[in-house]
């Protein structure tokens, strides 16, 4: 079983990531290395390397491997970077980034998901991830500025507080759109003090970003 999962992990990297154009060697190496089966709910291990999202409880999902790779590659994360991850969920994306970056700060609004993710980080020996339960649309002011911020849930627009917590040259990758489950994936780069450049990376489908600078609680209840 364990060996099957290792083979499946390498096949996932070759077929779902490299073949679809993911080129960042750090991302490919990290995704060969981190066991995704440790980040899915018990009973879902055999599906860990399928080409799609999986349920993780609380109505949330662990994102499709390709989307995780696409967002991290777009954010241009490099060794030594300080990264903010909004929407910890299972913790998988934070773990991939922690293999590449210097430090990862990750925020989850559901306490139960945060608790499980924290246990996974401890079990797998990640000592460069800090996790907080709260509203990630407000960022993590004490740890700012960040080289990169990744948001794994879709909001109506890019939260100003996250843009303000980018370092000069920092990148924010976030799904944005008027509907809760259909967005454009944007890469916003802070080029100078108050100057930002925006790039549209294509259409995506994410769970809603619920918070002060996201959607209201009702948006999730309607889902």
Task: Establish if 158 lies at the interface with ligand SAM (CB under 6 A).
Answer: no
* Calpha distance 123→131 (Å, rounded): 15
Among 90, 116, 165, 183, indicate the residue that binds ligand SAM (CB under 6 A).
90
Task: Establish if 131 lies at the interface with ligand SAM (CB under 6 A).
Answer: no
Considering beta carbons, is residue 131 or 166 the nearer one to ligand SAM? 131
Task: Establish if 87 lies at the interface with ligand SAM (CB under 6 A).
Answer: yes
Q: Which stretch binds ligand SAM (CB under 6 A): 3-11, 102-110, 161-169, 178-186?
A: 102-110
Give catalytic status of residue 63 as yes or no. Answer: yes
- Cis check for the bond before 145: say yes or no (omega within 30 of 0): yes
Considering beta carbons, is residue 167 or 181 the nearer one to ligand SAM? 181
Distances from the Cα of 79 to the Cα of 66, 102, 104, angstroms: 21, 6, 11
Considering beta carbons, is residue 161 or 194 the nearer one to ligand SAM? 161
Both tokens assigned to 74: 């777009």
The three-state secondary structure class of 135 is coil
Among 72, 98, 176, 209, indicate the residue that binds ligand SAM (CB under 6 A).
209
Catalytic residue among 63, 88, 183, 220: 63
Number of H helices, E strands in the chain: 7, 9
CB neighbour list of residue 211: distance below 8 Å, 6 or more residues apart:
109, 135, 136, 137, 138, 155, 159
**Residue 169: how many CB atoms within 10 A of its CB?**
13
Residues that bind ligand SAM (CB under 6 A): 60-63, 86-87, 89-90, 92-93, 107-110, 113, 135-137, 152-153, 206-207, 209-211, 214
**Any idea which residues carry the catalytic annotation?**
63
């Amino acid at each position: 079983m364990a060996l099957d999962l290792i083979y499946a992990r390498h096949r996932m990297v070759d077929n779902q990531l490299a073949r679809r154009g993911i080129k960042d060697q750090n991302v490919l190496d990290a995704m060969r290395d981190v066991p995704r089966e440790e980040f899915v709910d018990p009973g879902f291990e055999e599906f860990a390397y399928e080409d799609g999202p999986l349920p993780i409880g609380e109505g949330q999902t662990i994102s499709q491997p390709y989307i995780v790779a696409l967002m991290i590659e777009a954010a241009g994360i490099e060794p030594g970077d300080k990264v903010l991850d909004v929407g910890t969920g299972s913790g998988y994306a934070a773990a991939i980034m922690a293999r590449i970056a210097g430090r990862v700060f990750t925020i989850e609004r559901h306490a139960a998901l945060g608790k499980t993710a924290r246990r996974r980080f401890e079990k797998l020996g990640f000592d460069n991830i800090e996790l907080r339960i709260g509203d990630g649309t407000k960022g993590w002011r004490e740890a700012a500025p960040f080289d990169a911020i990744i948001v794994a849930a879709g909001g109506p627009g890019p939260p100003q507080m996250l843009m303000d917590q980018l370092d000069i040259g920092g990148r924010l990758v976030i799904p944005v759109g008027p509907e809760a489950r259909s967005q454009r994936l944007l890469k916003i780069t802070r080029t100078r003090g108050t100057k930002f450049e925006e790039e549209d990376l294509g259409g995506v489908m994410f769970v809603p970003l619920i918070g002060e600078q996201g959607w209201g609680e009702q948006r999730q209840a309607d889902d």
